[in-house]
Structure formats: C-alpha cells, structure tokens
Amino acid sequence: MNYFSKFYQQIAENRLAHWLNTLPAQLSHWQQHELHGEFKHWQKTLAALPKTQAKFLDLQQSVSVGKRSDINDGEFKRLENLLRKFKPWRKGPYLIHDLPIDTEWRSDFKWDRLHNEISDLSDRYVLDIGCGSGYHLWRMRGAGAKFVVGIDPTQLFFMQFNAIKHFIKDECVNLLPLGVEQLPELKSFDTVFAMGVLYHRRSPIDFLYQLKAQLVQGGELVLETLVVDGDANTVLVPGERYAKMRNVWFLPSTEAMCAWLERCGFSDIRLVNTDITAFEEQRKTDWIDTESLQDFLDPNDSSKTIEGYPAPKRAIFIANA
Ligand SMILES: C[S@@+](CC[C@H](N)C(=O)[O-])C[C@H]1O[C@@H](n2cnc3c(N)ncnc32)[C@H](O)[C@@H]1O
C-alpha cells in the first residue's frame, strides 16, 4: 500500500512542493528497508477496520468521530478488538463511534495548557515534530490550521494515526514516519510544534536549529520540554536513566532554555506555562500493558523520580524565527 501518494499530489500543488526533491526517495527507502517486524500484521489490522460513515466529528473540544448508533453490535465489537491490537496507546484520548480509547496520556491537558497562548492557527501550515499517534494534529486542524503535517519515526504510532484517519478521512492532516534529522530545511511552516522531544535529543542546540529551519521568517515555534529548577546555568544531564527512560539527555532550567533559544536566533521568547506532571495526566489504563508515571517515581516521595532526580516538570515556550 502506498501511504504517501495522495500527500505527494497535495504538496505538488502547495508551498511544500520543494519537499518532493527529497521526500519520495526517503520514504520509498523506508518502505523497502526499514519496516518494523510487526508492520505486516498492523497493515492487516488496518485493512480489517470496519468501513463506517461518520457524520459526527468534533476536533475542537476532543478528537471524536462518529456515533455508536452508526454501527451495529458486531461492528462495534470488531472495532474495539482491532484497535486494541495497536496497543500500547500512549497519546490521546480518542472517541471512535463512542468507543473510548483511554490512552496512557491525557494529551488534551497539554493542549488546554497551550492553545490560548499560541497564534491563531487559522489558515496556517503547521508542522508537529515528534507527534506520537497524532492526537495534537487533529486538535490543530480543529483550531483552523489549513495543512497539518506530523513527523514521528515510531512505526506503531504511524499505524495508530492511520487507524484514526481511517475514520476521520481528512486529507489535510498527515503523519510521515520520519525523524527530525531527516527533514531538509523547508522554511515553509507558519507554526512548528516540538513537544516532548528536546530531552530525547543528544544535541539540543542542533535540534533548535533544525526547528528554526522549518519555519517561515517570523513563524512561531511552540516548544514543550522537561525542565528543572535553577538559574540560567542549570542543566541536568541525568545518568543512564531518568524516570526509567534511557534516552533522556538534557533538562535545562527555564532560564537556560530561554538562553538557548536566544542563542539560536529566536526572538520574542516567552515562557507560557510550567506544570508538574500529575497522575491524572499520565497513568496506566487498559489501553497500555506497560508501566506508567506511578512506577517511575519514588514510592515514598513523589517529588522524586525512582532514580532520585526531580520528578517530571514540563514547560512550554513560544518564540519566533
Ligand atoms: C514524549 S513523546 C511526545 C509526543 C507528543 N509530541 C506530545 O507532546 O504528547 C516523544 C515523541 O518523539 C518521537 N521521536 C523520537 N525520536 C524522534 C526523532 N528523531 N524525530 C522526531 N520525533 C522523534 C517519539 O517517537 C515520540 O512519539
């Protein structure tokens, strides 16, 4: 199945046309050489999803498509069984014909913290780097964005996105299975989101330059990341693990993060929110089989991770290219 041919046709006609110089070769290499061992199974699951006609769609208050009454009992059961094959569902929640996909994360909480702080997305080209299953892509579209692209290299999340898109059927929302390092300097997006990715990058300064290179002149960056308390010179570089995650590299203070953004040439830098992650926002549900926040914190002191570091605290920054 070619997941990308419609996307190529669309961008051939819009301001992303120059992406066609590199993208088809990258994605065809991906399809030929990099597919996950489970990919064929996921494809079969995707193909088996009931073909429903949903009249109801809400992307403004939630990500909800269709109603229970659109489908019969057999289809509803099949829907649930098939969607559960894409576990673990981390980012959401979604409501598909009134079937709640109760994801590990309440990603809507993050959206609520930021959506009044950012520039109006109406008619904007938007890029979400490290978008997971794409929950926020739908909310961006619901907020009026004209064309929304997400990138995320995790193939399960690509399939989860396609499962949701099977029901929402909006050609202006797309997810590409790419890492940020595979993007050319597109200089084309009015808003770039990078949420929950900076601390996974071994070179955060290079990452900030990569984000800037995707924006039009004056475009808006929305950056969310883990931070620690401290002054402009405080940066935590954890040992092998932070909250049981192996791939966490740099946790700056909010002041240090602002200094990095300024050093990379961003202007009008604003810290708009800080928030300690609560158990209501990240928790174990029956749509994941793995551990969650409760298991990552010190059982006797929830202000510390199990390794003794400050517990996850997240901050949202807005800046202009
Ligand atoms: C903590 S999640 C954040 C998801 C979402 N942006 C949010 O804020 O809820 C980090 C995401 O970054 C993705 N990621 C990992 N390496 C990446 C890379 N090199 N480029 C882009 N995304 C990456 C992961 O697959 C994962 O979905």
Q: Can you spell out the DSSP letters for 211-243?
A: HHTTEEEEEEEEEEEE--S--TT-EE--SS-BT
pLDDT tens track of the chain, all 321 residues? Answer: 689 999 999 999 999 999 999 999 999 999 999 999 999 999 999 999 999 989 999 999 999 999 999 999 999 999 999 999 999 999 999 999 999 999 999 999 999 999 999 999 999 999 999 999 999 999 999 999 999 999 999 999 999 999 999 999 999 999 999 999 999 999 999 999 999 999 999 999 999 999 999 999 999 999 999 999 999 999 999 999 999 999 999 999 999 999 999 999 999 999 999 999 999 999 999 999 999 999 999 999 999 999 999 999 999 999 999
Dihedral angle sign, alpha carbons of residues 172, 175, 180, 182: negative
Residue type, 227: V
Q: Are strands 125-129 and 189-195 parallel, antiparallel or unpaired?
A: parallel
Residue 225 Cα to ligand 1 middle (Å): 11
Cβ–Cβ under 8 Å, residues 292 and 283: yes
CA dist., res. 188 & res. 109, Å (int): 28
* Nearest CA owner, ligand 1 atom 17: 179
Pairing label, strands 173-176, 147-151: parallel
Rounded to 5 degrees, what are φ and ψ at 243? 50, 45
State the pLDDT at residue 2: 81
Beta bridge partners of 70: none
Q: Which residues, 6 or more positions from 22, have their beta carbon under 8 angstroms from its beta carbon?
A: 184
In 66-168, DSSP assigns E strands to 91-92, 94-96, 99-101, 105-106, 125-129, 147-151
CA of 196 to the centre of ligand 1 (A): 6
Instruction: Tell me the HSE value of 68 on the side-chain side, using a 13 A CA sphere.
Output: 6
The predicted pLDDT at position 157 comes to 98
The Cα 281–Cα 251 span in angstroms is: 20
SS3 state at 21: helix
How far is the centre of ligand 1, averaged over its atoms, from the C-alpha of 100 (Å)?
A: 23
pTM of the model: 0.97
Interval between CA 197 and ligand 1 midpoint (Å)? 5
Q: What is the CATH number of domain 5-320?
A: 3.40.50.150
CA atoms in the 13 A half-sphere facing the CB of 78? 13
pLDDT at position 1, please?
66
Distance 128 CA to ligand 1 centre (A): 9
Which tokens belong to 217? 């002149």
Q: Which residues line ligand 1 (CB under 6 A)?
A: 91, 107, 110, 129-132, 151-154, 157, 179-181, 195-197, 200
To test the pocket of ligand 1, the residue of 155, 197, 208 to mutate (highest count of ligand atoms within 8 Å of its CB) is: 197
